[in-house]
Amino acid sequence: MAAATPGRVFIAQDHAIPGILDRMAADLRADGIEVVRGPVSIPGRLGVLAPDMARDLLHGVEVAMFTSRWRCDRAVMAAGPRLRAVLAPAIGVETIDVAAATELGIAVGHAPTPQNYTSMAESTVMLMLNLLYGLRRTEAVMRGQRRAPAWGEHHARMLQGKTVGIVGLGRIGHAVVERLRVFGVRFLVHSPHADRGAAADDLHFVDLPELMAGADLVGVFVAVRDDNRGLIDARMLRCMQPHAYLVNVSRGDAIDEPALVQALQQGWLAGAALDTFAVEPLPDHSPLRGMDNVILTPHLVGHTQEAQASLVEAARENFHRVLQGGLPVYCRNPRVAMAWAQRPGMLRAT
């Protein structure tokens, strides 16, 4: 990578991932780039910069990074007249108004690195196997907290031969499918924007109610937008079989959480594994915390060492590319290129 042109950038502060953002900022400062940081996000609240603060923080800023706990809307982007690109530190860009950015000639970059989506896929398979095999219950026997099961009482079930529902066939969904094929499972897929013509023959595309009713395991991998928020609602949960399991590693807003609590309490499904929640961190009073048929992880299940390192490197590359006059390596809105070239500062030397 060529040496960076010195510039001014903004990186939001996020209470959930301070280490990775601090590392990104330190690396950029070591490259001679001025880094501005904003206020720390508040747990359980989606932050948005007030107009005056946005103007102050984005003054002279050419590239800004916002996480999923900060909203970057048209007003925020308009507050930075020299802004050329808005970046997300990982895959999701649901809190960035991509359409507004495109209209304003601002590129949107993110980090769908192979290490990132592969880690999420591997951890999804791990969660599915944990649900089927009931690892915690088996471990409790070893610790003397449960008696060993008698004949006919074994709880573990094989993954082989099961039907797996894939809700959202993006990078993570595809990677999950690739890893599950060796188990000899059947796939039901609901992904309205997927290219069915390019999909493998073993992927059976169905509507969502049919998927929920026919799957032994349902994995949710959608990018949450206004039109699919709460996609897995009470009606969808009632379609599930009593022995089926639900896994969500996308965003908490993909599922109607109160409806899921009711479904788990009333036995509409056997259990769930959740890495994301409507409010993060998950409140102490959440009924989910007291359920023994739920695996809970704090939005960290796929955060491997390899994935974290790849996100730092992808962010550094995206920042440098924009400061040197190029689009981000991972550009979410490539059709912005013509309008983007007219943004202020694009003729600076590289």
Residues 136 and 21 in one domain: no
Q: Is residue 270 in a domain?
A: yes
* pLDDT tens digits in sequence order for the chain, 350 residues long: 445 468 999 999 999 899 999 999 999 999 999 999 999 999 888 999 999 999 999 999 999 999 999 999 999 999 999 999 999 999 989 999 999 999 999 999 999 999 999 999 999 999 999 999 999 888 888 888 888 888 888 888 999 999 999 999 999 999 999 999 999 999 999 999 898 888 899 999 999 999 999 999 999 999 888 888 999 999 999 999 999 999 999 999 999 999 999 999 999 999 999 999 998 889 999 999 999 999 999 999 999 999 999 999 999 999 999 999 999 999 999 999 877 677 665 544 33
Is 280 tagged catalytic?
A: yes
Residue 63's pLDDT is what? Answer: 97
Complete DSSP assignment for 124-170:
HHHHHHHHHHTHHHHHHHHTTSSPPPPTT------STT-EEEEE--S
* Cβ atoms of residues 165 and 190 within 8 Å: yes
Q: What per-residue confidence (pLDDT) applies to 5?
A: 62
Q: Are 298 and 274 a contacting pair, CB within 8 Å?
A: no
Asked if residue 327 is part of any domain, the answer here is yes
Q: Tell me: do 158 and 91 sit in the same domain.
A: no
Pair (206, 74) in one structural domain: no
**Which residue in the list 84, 190, 299, 316 is annotated as catalytic?**
299
- H runs (alpha helix) in the chain: 18-30, 51-57, 74-78, 98-103, 114-133, 135-142, 171-180, 208-214, 234-238, 257-266, 305-323, 337-340
- Non-local (6+) Cβ contacts of 230 within 8 A are 253, 254, 255, 256
Instruction: Give the residue among 109, 100, 107 at the shortest CA–CA distance from 24.
Output: 109
What is the Cα–Cα distance from 117 to 179, expressed in whole angstroms?
12
- Same domain for 142 and 264, yes or no, is yes
Domain membership flag for residue 73: yes
How far out from the chain centre does Cα 186 lie?
Answer: 25
Pairing of strands 63-65, 85-87: parallel
Question: How many structural domains does the chain have?
Answer: 2
Residues 124, 268 within the same domain: yes
The dihedral built from the CA positions of residue 329, 26, 14 and 10, taken in this order, carries a sign that is negative
Q: Which of 122, 210, 280, 317 is catalytic?
A: 280
Kindly state whether residues 119 and 138 are assigned to the same domain.
yes
Q: What is the pTM of this model?
A: 0.90
Together in a domain, 91 and 118 = no
Q: Are residues 80 and 204 in the same domain?
A: no
Domain containing residue 199? 114-296
Q: From CA 75, how far away is CA 315, in angstroms rounded?
A: 24
Q: What is the CATH number of the domain that holds 237?
A: 3.40.50.720
In a domain, 194, yes or no: yes
Q: Is 299 a catalytic residue?
A: yes
Domain match, 267 and 122 both: yes
Catalytic, 15? Answer: no
2 within a domain of the structure (yes/no): no
Q: Do 60 and 121 fall within a single domain? A: no
In a domain, 347, yes or no: no
User: Does 212 reside within a domain?
Assistant: yes
Give the whole-angstrom CA distance, residue 192 versus residue 215.
Answer: 18
Residue 61 shares a structural domain with residue 209 = no
Selected catalytic residue, list 171, 174, 251, 321 = 251
State residue 230's pLDDT score: 94
